[in-house]
Amino acid sequence: MTDMLAGVPDSLLLCYCTKLTVGDLRAACRRDDWPPAGKERTGKLCTGCLGDLNYLLRQLAAEPR
Amino acid sequence: MSNNLCGLLSATFHEAGCEHLVELIHQRDAHARRRLASIDVAVYAADGAALHQATLDPRLDVIDLAALVAGIPSPPRRVLVTFDARYDERIFPYRPHHYGYVHRRGGRGAPLYYAVSAVLGGVPDRIGATNINNFESYLFMPKTAAGTHSVLLGNVARFAPSPIEVITYHGRTRSSSAVTLAPKTHAEIDLPAERDGGRLERVEVKSAFRVASYIVGRRAESEELVLFDHLFTYAR
């Protein structure tokens, strides 16, 4: 399920408006704490990252915790 | 690099046969303090293949996009180009803008000067640009120098495909077509000048999330660009 994400670095900037990185998203999903404080508007501002955000949330939700 | 830097990813299209310059920093100041923290450029074919990726010197004012693309072996006729910038919001309290200058080599028409479309970032709420931006529209003048019109669409996402609906209005006739763009792919959708006797009056682009979009007008005989502009966010 997460093979496509294996090579994606934590430093990759996902939301250019809230400065959320893939690492931030991974950590939040591991803690079952999405969205983390201060990142609630991720995907809702310029909307450009919304597709990637939803894709990653689906993928990461399936990872074992 | 500081985690406090803001990000802005802008995108444009380049076509063979055009001079094409891009101002990396439109908002210059007398002391040239306004510089980006970093900027990367990437070039993609219509099928999303990455043709070129490079880090640019953020001190550059202008890059020659035509020369950059010409340096790619066997470049396709049209490419999607992204500019991935990081900037300090204390230096750019609004956000940085890239502007483009495009002109067909030897063309008879005027050069076109346009704002490069900001697709990812720019913190729209900070600058008051809070209209829904994945619904965009463009109104056409009754008389135009262009013989043909189209929209250029590009998906700059890393993972997600984008379904996109292009709706045209010719008088009372509403028509729509749909396209789904995989990440980093792009497409040109032709807009008929007339339908059912009505002229092309309006086009709307609706996508699941913001994509790079430009309205394009060309001379019928030479295909020289006479219009290259972004659409406008949908607002009631």
Distance CA A50, CA B6 (A): 18
Distance CA B191, CA B193 (A): 6
Minimum CA–CA partner of A16 in chain B? B121
Could you tell me where the DSSP H helices lie in B21-118?
Answer: 65-70
**H or E, element range at B162:** strand B162-170
Indicate if the pLDDT at residue B207 is higher than 80.
Answer: yes
- Whether residue B24 lies within 8 A of chain A, CB to CB, comes out as no
What CATH number has the domain spanning B134-235? Answer: 2.60.290.11
Range among B38-42, B107-111, B231-235 with highest mean pLDDT value: B38-42
Distance CA A37, CA A50 (A): 18
The answer to whether the Cβ–Cβ distance between A55 and B159 falls below 8 Å is: yes
- Whether residue B158 lies within 8 A of chain A, CB to CB, comes out as yes
What's the pLDDT score for residue B97? 86
Minimum mean pLDDT range among B103-107, B113-117, B229-233: B229-233
The answer to whether the Cβ–Cβ distance between A46 and B3 falls below 8 Å is: no
Range among B2-16, B30-44, B179-193 with highest mean pLDDT value: B179-193
The answer to whether the Cβ–Cβ distance between A47 and B156 falls below 8 Å is: no
Q: Please, are residues B86 and B225 in contact by the beta-carbon 8 Å criterion?
A: no
Cβ-Cβ contacts under 8 Å, B160 against chain A: 51-52, 54-55
Could you tell me where the DSSP H helices lie in chain B?
Answer: 65-70
Q: What is the pLDDT of residues B78-91, one digit of tens each?
A: 999 999 999 988 88
> Using 50, 70 and 90 to split pLDDT, how confident is the model at A1?
very low
Distance CA B98, CA B78 (A): 20
Distance CA B41, CA B31 (A): 25
Distance CA B94, CA B5 (A): 14
Predicted interface score ipTM higher than 0.85: yes
Q: What is the pLDDT of residues B26-38, one digit of tens each?
A: 766 666 677 899 9
Cβ-Cβ contacts under 8 Å, A15 against chain B: 121
pTM score of the predicted model: 0.92
